Structure 1
Amino acid sequence: MTDDKMKRRLTTVLCADVHGYSRLMGADEAGTLEALRRCRTAIAGLVDRHDGRIVNTWGDAVIAEFASVVEAVQCAVEIQQEVSSQNSGPPHARQMRFRIGVNLGDVMVDGSDIFGDGVNIAARLQELAEPGGVMVSASVYDQVHNKLSVGFDCLGQQQMKNVAPVTTYRVTVGGPAVGQGSGSSAAQAVAASEAGAQRIRGRYESSTWMSSIADRFAALPRPIAVMLTVSGFLILINVFTGLHRIWFHWPVAALLFLGIMRTLRHGPASDRDEGRRGTRD
């Protein structure tokens, strides 16, 4: 392979492999191989329908490329739906579930094969995907997020072996994630709703508490209310200007004493005046 024969192109790479393939083969070699053949046949038909081509198949893996990013992601979703429908019969422990990664990137071309980071990133995305799920790179998301009737959950930058960190997105269909993510997504939605309700209740209770304090303060005799207000200012001044020396207790004590005495002195007189007015009336 010489440099003068090497070509490059921008393409969309789809990488898929079977989750737990070795375990499945250990449990039932003949049944697993037959299921893999059925899945590969279905995958090949879907790839062809979306104008892609199978680049390579080794072991349980499938690599395909597409000229269109939209067609690649749509194909990935349909592959998972088709494989899921084929899994309706066998027990859950023996179901064949694929993980799929899709990346848009530059690749090197050698005949019918492709190489480079564009392929490697797709393979790493496939390793991060959930069984039955689809993971795409930011380059794919930028092209398709407003062109397909699917959702995307941003998972942030992911460290990947032998390649630079890549921002990844999990494809979701109809709200829950493709494959196993539906339960956790519903639980997260319920938790978010409950948290919002709790915040509203907290704000309401806080407002009620503050309103109750304000009402009680307003009901105090005027001399006591004035003395408490002045005392509060003196405490704040002491706290912010004399952290190592406490002096506010002396003026506060004097003010409170004067306020109480003033209240006691004028309260009964006011009551007597009311009594005399009531008698005259």
Structure 2
Amino acid sequence: MSDKVKRKLTTILAADAAGFSRAMDADEVGTYAALHAAREVFGKLITRHGGRIANTAGDGLIADFPSAVEAAQCAIEVQNELVSQDAALKFRIGVHLGDVIVDGEDLIGEGVNLAARLQSMAEPGGVLISQQVYDQVHSKLTIGFEYLGEKRPRDLPDDIPIYRIAMSQSANPHRVNPIPFTQAYKSTPKQSAGGSSPKHPDLSRTVRLTAMISGALVLINLVSGGGVWAHWAILVAASIAALNMADTLVPEKISRLVPARHVIIIASLTLVNIFSWTGYLWVLWPAGGLLVAAFVRKTLSRPE
């Protein structure tokens, strides 16, 4: 390693234009102009928030910031400004706080790779952040965050917690957003003494609440007499709870193929089919529709 190469802890912002190759095929000159305009937006806001562009490659760029808060705010403002300009290109952005190697003006290493992987997993116009960034910004920015669970970025060996910034709630930086309904029933993963995150958020509150509701319904059914009906109410309560915990209940191998919530819905409909059995397995129709929809969405949203 040369004397000019050194390490530092920094926040990396990785950005890339979605569908750039298709856009170039359709309108090369117009797409290049849109890319140039978008780069001006990135450059202006990166500088405003104390960052610098480390390198650019094709339709993407890598920037680093001394502050995770400034990096996240910059990502939000970039996406909002591109939307306000009705930009022809939409960008995916990933932000990660990690150790990198500085070689002259370039940044390389695992920290940069992870930011790039987060970017590739983001939706066009969206921002994904790592656990390390979330820990630094969630109490300092008045925006919404959605915990997506632990996912394994391409070519990396381990699952990592990933958060999505709620862009629809971030247009007004002074607005304090409520915790999303799905977050109210699961706590944020905490760093352990060793610095790693647990496999799943703490679900004890939801499990206890569902168990108490189920027990109360069974008791009411027994005391009131008549036919057995409690299983229907319990199914509704359990389905709602499972939908809110879908990312932690459904194994990663399955959720990579079918969205976790689709799996929970199919399971709930299957129980409805069994409880109301008339000799016809009708659940195959909605289940098939959900599986086809998941396949189509996965195909259309696959990064280039």
Do 2:11 and 2:98's aligned partners in 1 also have CA atoms closer than 8 Å? yes
Q: 1:31 to 1:203 in 2, by over 3 A?
A: farther
The 2-side partners of 1:120 and 1:201 are apart by 46
Q: Which has the higher helix share?
A: 1
- Match of 2:117? 124
Deviation track 1:78-119 (CA, whole Å, cap 9, x = no partner) reads 01101111227xxxxxx3110000010011011111110111
- Match of 1:224? none
CA shift, 1:159, in A, is: 1.4
The 2-side partners of 1:200 and 1:160 are apart by 38
Q: Does 2:98 match 1:99?
A: no
The 1-side partners of 2:110 and 2:55 are apart by 16
Deviation track 1:190-232 (CA, whole Å, cap 9, x = no partner) reads xxxxxxxxx9998887565433329xxxxxxxxxxxxxxxxxx
Q: How does 1:231-250 map to 2 (within 5 A)?
A: none
Structure 1 stretch displaced more, 15-24 or 166-175: 166-175
Structure 1 stretch displaced more, 34-43 or 165-174: 165-174
Deviation track 1:208-267 (CA, whole Å, cap 9, x = no partner) reads 5433329xxxxxxxxxxxxxxxxxxxxxxxxxxxxxxxxxxxxxxxxxxxxxxxxxxxxx
CA shift, 1:3, in A, is: 4.0
- Match of 2:79? 80
Q: Does 2:102 match 1:109?
A: yes
- Match of 1:59? 58
- Match of 1:210? 222
The 1-side partners of 2:9 and 2:213 are apart by 53
The 1-side partners of 2:26 and 2:127 are apart by 26
Do 2:69 and 2:140's aligned partners in 1 also have CA atoms closer than 8 Å? yes
Deviation track 1:136-159 (CA, whole Å, cap 9, x = no partner) reads 111111111111011221222221
- Return the letter of the residue paired with 1:167: P
Do 1:69 and 1:143's aligned partners in 2 also have CA atoms closer than 8 Å? yes
The 2-side partners of 1:82 and 1:174 are apart by 13
Deviation track 1:59-78 (CA, whole Å, cap 9, x = no partner) reads 10011110000000000000
Q: 1:100 to 1:206 in 2, by over 3 A?
A: same
Q: How does 1:1-281 map to 2 (within 5 A)?
A: 2-87=1-86, 95-165=88-158, 166-173=160-167, 175=169, 209-213=221-225
Q: 1:36 to 1:13 in 2, by over 3 A?
A: same
Do 1:150 and 1:174's aligned partners in 2 also have CA atoms closer than 8 Å? no
TM-score, L = length of structure 1: 0.61
Do 2:5 and 2:103's aligned partners in 1 also have CA atoms closer than 8 Å? yes
- Return the letter of the residue paired with 2:132: S
Which protein shows a greater Rg?
1
Do 2:143 and 2:170's aligned partners in 1 also have CA atoms closer than 8 Å? no
Percentage identity across aligned positions? 48
The 1-side partners of 2:5 and 2:221 are apart by 75
The 2-side partners of 1:209 and 1:70 are apart by 53
**Secondary structure, counterpart of 2:139 in structure 1:** coil
The 2-side partners of 1:200 and 1:32 are apart by 58
5+ residue gaps in structure 1? 89-94, 178-185, 190-198, 215-281
- Match of 1:230? none
The 2-side partners of 1:175 and 1:112 are apart by 35
Residue-pair matches, total: 191
TM-score, L = length of structure 2: 0.57
The 2-side partners of 1:128 and 1:50 are apart by 24
The 1-side partners of 2:36 and 2:140 are apart by 32
**Secondary structure, counterpart of 2:72 in structure 1:** helix
Question: What value does the CA root-mean-square deviation take over the aligned residues?
Answer: 3.0
Do 2:5 and 2:104's aligned partners in 1 also have CA atoms closer than 8 Å? no
CA shift, 1:162, in A, is: 3.6
The 1-side partners of 2:213 and 2:101 are apart by 59
**Secondary structure, counterpart of 2:146 in structure 1:** strand
